[in-house]
């Protein structure tokens, strides 16, 4: 009986923890307790899902902060959604440090380069903090959009992946992948200009060289949090 009395409370405590309601950020199982979380919008559009979320934060004068979660293809739907939602986000005024940036969590295997550029410029215009949290991956045009954040951070096992911009005829190669062409100088020039607009010259030059070294629709140059921080992509 003495053994049972000692074991039962431990088992009961584990049961309580496992049953706690949980809000998982899109694209990962990581998140917070549901307590103090309000999902103001959970929209699905074709290959995109986007949420507008409110979370209690006692450091804000209002008592809460708001952020976006994006999961899926970076394309016209994603750009339009971000364009409409960013001006609606409540601004957290920190009780001690002043205005805090709104955050955008990104999880995507890419999409259209033009929309990556446009979304990144929207992030910069609205001074948002872009974030990739544990288990999230941000590839291709998503990585381009990520760089537009005024503040940028990767947590835990989050990853960025870059590859050269390409055009495709839609035909398959002998290896089963799409036949692609990475020689479009216009796209490379646009990428160079964009990198220089969001990064210092040394970092942008290195990033362009590494980006262009991967001409692939399925593979690329991958960075974890430490790698991105070492090369100056985080701040």
pLDDT tens, residue by residue, 209-233: 999 999 988 899 999 999 999 999 9
Q: What confidence score (pLDDT) does residue 133 get?
A: 97
**Residues 107/137, Cβ–Cβ less than 8 Å:** yes
Q: How far apart are the first and last CA of the chain?
A: 57
User: What letter would DSSP give residue 212?
Assistant: H
Q: 118: pLDDT confidence band, cut at 50, 70 and 90?
A: very high
Check pLDDT > 60 for residue 122: yes
22-163+220-230, CATH topology level: 2-enoyl-CoA Hydratase; Chain A, domain 1 (3.90.226)
Q: Among 221, 156, 232, which Cα is nearest to 199's? A: 232
**Residues 36/24, Cβ–Cβ less than 8 Å:** no
Structure tokens at 4: 């049972």
Check pLDDT > 80 for residue 4: no
Q: What confidence score (pLDDT) does residue 177 get?
A: 59
**Residues 25/45, Cβ–Cβ less than 8 Å:** no
Check pLDDT > 70 for residue 1: no
Check pLDDT > 90 for residue 61: yes
Could you state, in order of their start, the residue ranges of all structural domains in the chain?
22-163+220-230
Check pLDDT > 60 for residue 2: no
**Residues 60/72, Cβ–Cβ less than 8 Å:** no
Q: Which is more confident, 219 or 176?
A: 219
Over residues 100-114, the pLDDT tens digits come to: 999 999 999 999 999
* Distance between CA atoms of residues 163 and 27, nearest Å: 21
Residue corresponding to tokens 């709104």: 102
**Residues 63/56, Cβ–Cβ less than 8 Å:** yes
Check pLDDT > 70 for residue 3: no
Q: What confidence score (pLDDT) does residue 78 get?
A: 97
Q: What is the mean pLDDT of residues 18-37?
A: 87
Q: How many C-beta neighbours within 10 Å does residue 2 have?
A: 6
**Residues 102/123, Cβ–Cβ less than 8 Å:** no
Q: What confidence score (pLDDT) does residue 179 get?
A: 80
Q: What is the mean pLDDT of residues 158-182?
A: 78
Q: 21: pLDDT confidence band, cut at 50, 70 and 90?
A: confident
Q: What confidence score (pLDDT) does residue 7 get?
A: 44
Q: What is the mean pLDDT of residues 47-66?
A: 97
Q: What angle do CA 157, 163, 167 make, to 5 degrees?
A: 140
Q: What confidence score (pLDDT) does residue 172 get?
A: 57
Q: What confidence score (pLDDT) does residue 168 get?
A: 79
């Amino acid at each position: 009986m003495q053994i049972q009395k000692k074991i039962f409370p431990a088992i009961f405590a584990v049961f309580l923890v496992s049953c706690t309601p949980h809000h998982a950020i899109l694209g990962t199982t990581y998140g917070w307790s549901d307590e103090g979380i309000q999902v103001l919008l959970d929209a699905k559009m074709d290959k995109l899902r986007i949420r507008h979320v409110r979370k209690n934060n006692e450091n804000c004068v209002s008592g809460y902060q708001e952020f976006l979660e994006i999961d899926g293809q970076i394309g016209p739907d994603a750009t339009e959604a971000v364009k409409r939602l960013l001006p609606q986000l409540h601004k957290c005024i920190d009780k001690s440090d002043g205005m805090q940036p709104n955050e955008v969590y990104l999880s995507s295997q890419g999409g259209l380069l033009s929309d990556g550029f446009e979304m990144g410029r929207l992030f910069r215009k609205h001074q948002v903090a872009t974030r990739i949290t544990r288990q999230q991956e941000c590839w291709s045009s998503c990585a381009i959009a990520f760089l537009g954040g005024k503040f940028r951070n990767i947590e835990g096992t989050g990853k960025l992946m870059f590859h050269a911009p390409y055009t495709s005829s839609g035909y398959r190669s002998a290896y089963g992948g799409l036949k692609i062409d990475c020689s479009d100088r216009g796209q490379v020039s646009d990428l160079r200009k964009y990198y220089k607009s969001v990064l210092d010259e040394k970092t942008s030059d290195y990033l362009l060289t590494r980006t262009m070294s991967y001409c692939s629709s399925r593979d690329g140059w991958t960075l974890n949090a430490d790698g991105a921080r070492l090369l100056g992509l985080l701040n």
